[in-house]
Amino acid sequence: MKNKDNILNASLANEFSQKYLAYALSTITHRALPDVRDGLKPVHRRLLYAMYLLNLGSKLQPKKSARVVGDVIGKFHPHGDQSVYDALVRLAQDFSIRYPLVNGQGNFGNIDGDNAAAMRYTEAKLTEISELLLENIDEETVDFKSTYDGDLQEPLVFPAKFPNLLANGASGIAVGMATSIPPHNIVEICEALKIVNHDKNVSIKELLKVLPGPDFPTGGMLNNNKSEILRAYTSGKGFFELRSSYKIEDLGRGQYQISINEIPYQVSKSTLIEKIADLIISKKNKLIDNVIDESDQLVRIVIRPKNRNVKPEVLMESLFRQTDLQVRIPLNMNVLNSKLQPKVMSIKEVLLNFLVHRYEVLVRKSEFRLKNIKNRIEILIGFIKVYHNLDKIIKIIRNAEDPKLQLIKKFKFTQNQVNAILDMRLRNLRKLEEKEIKQEYKDLLSEKNFLTKLLSSKSLQKKEIDNEIDFLIKKFKDDPLLGKRRTQLAKFGSVDEETFDNEIKSDDPLTITILKNGFVKSQKSFVKNLEEQIGNENNSLLIHARSNDKIILVSNFGKFYTIEADNILTGSSTGRPISSYLSLTDNEKIVDSFRFDSEDEIFIYTKSGYGFITLGKNLETNKKTGKKVMNVKGDDVVIGVSKAVKDSDSIAIICDVDGKNKMLAFNINELPKLDKGRGVILVKGKSLKVINATTFNSKSVIKDQADKTLFDKSTIENNYAKRAQSGKIIKNYKNQIMNRNFENNIRCHL
């Protein structure tokens, strides 16, 4: 509501939410998501339509890219010229798009990631494939809308004789949603379209027999099994695992080298080679001696092994794990339907929507042609009258004051007929021949009858769509570049994990130190007499490990993190912040750490006295943000962990209650074994704080980290009870840390 000063009084929150919603919807429908019918986003559609209006056909001369971009941003797409040019460049790159829609002349970038030349230097025109998308666009086959300034009209969608969405794929990020559709083989798409055209109830499993998976422009090998692909194509969501194909080249005398001729989709070759070189220089891959780029127009990366004893399959497995020679391509078939509503579709829904669109185009094209035929037949009937009354008509045209009115009155011509006659020059009227007119009339009448039948017959329409699909199959099937499948569907050969670890990973001794200031460092040796570090003011934890070990770090917030031991910086006296390896939140800190073993049983406990036992395998994670295992509430925090060794049958808890130390021991079987959770209460008492806990054998004593007896049998027996009791006061305890049962692992402070 506006006041007298014409100022709008409104809630800022409401205005923000409404404007942001409008922006979000705009990015979804007008920028990020492709239309299921033609597979294009607005910027791509406007680019191709502008080139069509510039008469840049595939068989004609190209024009400067700057001219195309200028027309696009001036007439249709009021955005930055560079973003429009980038979109144009991508449509011309045969390594980015399976079936290029733009024929680029000049430097349009390369697979190394080099940028295209400036738009003033490059030229562009349409390809035959983009002409298929535009075919019949001037025949009222699709709806148009006004451009942003209202001066011109632009198509809402293309007629799309070519199934572009699946053939070229799409990717985009909108507000709150995204799309990622990999490219497919056009011949396989067409075979699937024919099946769906005749049986709308066909199963996706049947479709996979002719459309088995994506086909990427850069080739490679697909690792997914049929059930994974079926699940992805059915739900519209999933992923495809793609890796480079390679050859082993025999050099004689037991020597060999590996040549990589195809790299995964959207991977930069130069960045990939830099990564491999970095692995060699940093000695993170001890199997490779050298990497050489021998590429010209074709990709050829040569890998030289350290020696003849290196197994080629193990060498490649190491590269697949350490570089982008193996990638995951996501599938998220989130597209706009014919009502411009976003929807995640299955592969069959995408095919059906394309066919529905083609049927609509066929009907509208036929109606347009039928209308023109009727107009032409009407004119031809008039021409026959002209032929039989030529001299009289010429005389009227020459002498009459209003020849149009006279011709209609005397010969009963219609408005269309008389307009066509008067639009012709007199010498052309004299050239009219009855035979030619009647032949054209006969041909048009035959076509009219066919179109009339076509519009009333679903079976004839189905046959026409079949003919369109057959045309595409015939056009592309024998084309070695466009028709032949490039991505091979082959399950990768697997390398035994133990063999791989033995071959690839070094087994060097390390001492990992977590410092009190939140840094972590590593040195390439075992520090002797770790127990001497107990009480060290600078250190928090010290662990003996091997370079092929994984290290688990425990945070006070109940999250567990995993670091590869050989990834920790060595040779530095100060180390590196733990935050450079992990994503810790505010006030989160590492309280304990140990070497990972999936079979270990780990006892986790908190300051307020909760705990449980879990398996080591539940603690491992590849996420930098860690894995939440212990649920802590309020001000409670995790303060430590202990390993439950084979003969551990009991739990010992030491807590502080109003400045007095109490101890409680109980049977380990009273603790639950959980994957994650809060666990159960270990010890009860008002204002208690657990300060230390461990697992032990009740028939033995409890030792400290220096292997000295901390609690003898009589003390243990005196404090042994049921879980969740208050415990008894113990004397002469000076915050010594009980043995946590981790080998060569010292915690310096509580």
Cα–Cα distances (Å) from 234 to 212, 230, 238, in that order, read 13, 6, 10
Q: Which helix (H) or strand (E) holds 171?
A: strand 170-173
Catalytic residues: 121
Residues 259 and 152 in one domain: no
Single residue among 159, 178, 199 that ends a domain in this structure? 159
Residue 297 belongs to some domain of the structure: yes
Residues 514 and 612 in one domain: yes
pLDDT of amino acid 17: 74
| Alpha carbon distance 562, 554 (integer Å) | 9
Domain extent, residue 131, equals: 40-159
Residue 361 belongs to some domain of the structure: no
Radius of gyration of the chain (CA): 38
Tens-place pLDDT, residues 132-178: 999 999 999 999 999 989 999 999 999 999 999 999 999 988 777 88
Output the pTM of the full model: 0.75
Residues 150 and 260 in one domain: no
Tens-place pLDDT, residues 674-704: 999 999 999 998 889 999 999 999 999 999 9
Q: Which helix (H) or strand (E) holds 595?
A: strand 590-595
Q: How many CB atoms lie within 10 A of CB 507?
A: 10
pLDDT of amino acid 494: 62
Strands (E), 272-415: 288-293, 301-305, 326-332, 334-336, 342-344
Structure tokens at 443: 């041909």
Residue 459 belongs to some domain of the structure: no
Residues 741 and 604 in one domain: yes
> Which of 77, 89, 83 has its CA nearest to residue 30?
77
Q: 153: helix, coil or strand? A: strand
Single residue among 159, 193, 222 that ends a domain in this structure? 159
Q: What are phi and psi of 522, to 5 degrees?
A: -145, 145
Residues 582 and 725 in one domain: yes
Residue 120 belongs to some domain of the structure: yes
Q: What is the 3-state secondary structure (H, E, C) of 444-492?
A: HHHHHHHHHHHHHCHHHHHHHHHHHHHHHHHHHHCCCCCCCCCCEECCC
Residues 523 and 622 in one domain: yes
pLDDT of amino acid 293: 94
Residue 620 belongs to some domain of the structure: yes
Angle at 441 between CA 435 and CA 443, to 5 degrees: 105
pLDDT of amino acid 489: 87
CATH code, 522: 2.120.10.90
Residues 154 and 269 in one domain: no
| Burial label, 177 (beta-carbon count in 10 A; 0-12, 13-18, 19+) | middle
Residue 380 belongs to some domain of the structure: no
* Most distant pair of Cα atoms in the chain: their distance: 137
pLDDT of amino acid 609: 95
What's the number of domains the chain is made of? 3
Residues 536 and 660 in one domain: yes
| Burial label, 571 (beta-carbon count in 10 A; 0-12, 13-18, 19+) | exposed
Residues 263 and 134 in one domain: no
Residues 557 and 684 in one domain: yes
Angle at 703 between CA 700 and CA 706, to 5 degrees: 145
CATH code, 260: 3.30.1360.40
CATH code, 96: 3.90.199.10
Residue 458 belongs to some domain of the structure: no
Residues 563 and 700 in one domain: yes
Single residue among 131, 159, 187 that ends a domain in this structure? 159
**Interior/surface letters 245-277, b for 16+ CB within 10 angstroms, e for the rest:** bbeeeeeeeeebbbbbebbbbbbbbeebbebbe
Residues 147 and 263 in one domain: no
Residue 62 belongs to some domain of the structure: yes
Low-confidence ranges of the chain (pLDDT < 50): none
